[in-house]
Amino acid sequence: MTDNRKRRRNRKVNATRALAAAGAALLGITLGGGTASAGVDNANSIFDDHGNRLEVSQGDTSIQIVPPLDSSPLSREFFHNGYAQARIEGPGAADAKGSKLTFGYQVGYPVALTGASIQLNTPGLGFELEHKDVIALGDVTDDFALGIGFENRGQLLGDIIPQQNFIFDLQPGGITDVPVVKDKMFDGPGAKIRIGGVQGSVSGAIGQTTIRPYARLETADGNIVMTYGMPVPL
């Protein structure tokens, strides 16, 4: 092999290595950005007229699809874990009053028979307040028995609510809104709703049925921000 051919070959090898190194560096930047937001699956934010940043997010989302117990081709069943969180940052965050946080689903389907419904079964519910208002649905910790758990970070303020059972009628076709926790009021800079082991079942829907979790923050002066999770076929 002549010297010229060797030099050309070396230049090609060096160029290939440089491209590979650049690609690895770019991949590292991408993965680094993703790792920084670990646990948060989706979020959205706006600014109000007072300069406060209002953010709502969902995280730790796990929706597990299981065969329905009734074995009907018109039934679907799932289990859901995750959280919704509201944050207010800015000059009025500490003194914010009367904000509301909602956590629920949108259920979409082409056609529903008469009497079609979605049913949700939740374990016990409670809430506490420190700097944040925290609601826990399901066995979040082992500190409490009977499937009721709390993040142990403050004084218990709310009553313990027994297991809940919600039934929502499906419209003939389209999208049905199904709130798990609706308009939970809180004061201060933030609130968090955590659910664990929520069991849902849809009956009487024909065709592809899809569920999409959402979270909604509304402040006392009417500002609203929402975030939506990934649609999951049931």
How many CB atoms are closer than 10 A to CB 207? 11
More confident residue, 191 or 165: 191
Same domain, 15 and 114: no
The token pair that represents 150 in the structure block: 């709390």
Domain shared by 64 and 14, yes or no:
no
87 and 28 share a domain?
no
Measure the CA–CA gap between 104 and 127, rounded to whole angstroms: 17
CA-based nearest residue to 234, from 215, 214, 206: 206
How many domains would you assign to the chain?
Answer: 2
**pTM check: above 0.75:** no
- The verdict on 76 and 161 lying in the same domain is yes
Instruction: State the residue range of the domain holding 2.
Output: 1-38
pLDDT category of residue 1 using cuts at 50, 70 and 90: low
Does 34 share its domain with 46?
no
Same domain, residue pair 89 and 24:
no
Most confident option among 48-57, 114-123, 180-189: 48-57
Q: What is the pLDDT of residues 16-33, one digit of tens each?
A: 343 333 332 222 222 222
Percent of all residues in the chain with a pLDDT value above 90, rounded to a whole number: 38
Six-digit token string for 9: 């070959």
Q: Is residue 23 domain-shared with residue 70, that is, in the same domain?
A: no
Task: Categorize the per-residue pLDDT at 168 as very low, low, confident or very high, splitting at 50, 70 and 90.
Answer: confident
pLDDT of residue 4: 56
**Can you tell me the distance from the alpha carbon of 14 to that of 135, in angstroms, rounded to the nearest whole number?**
57
One domain for residues 89 and 31: no
130 pLDDT tier (thresholds 50, 70, 90) = very low
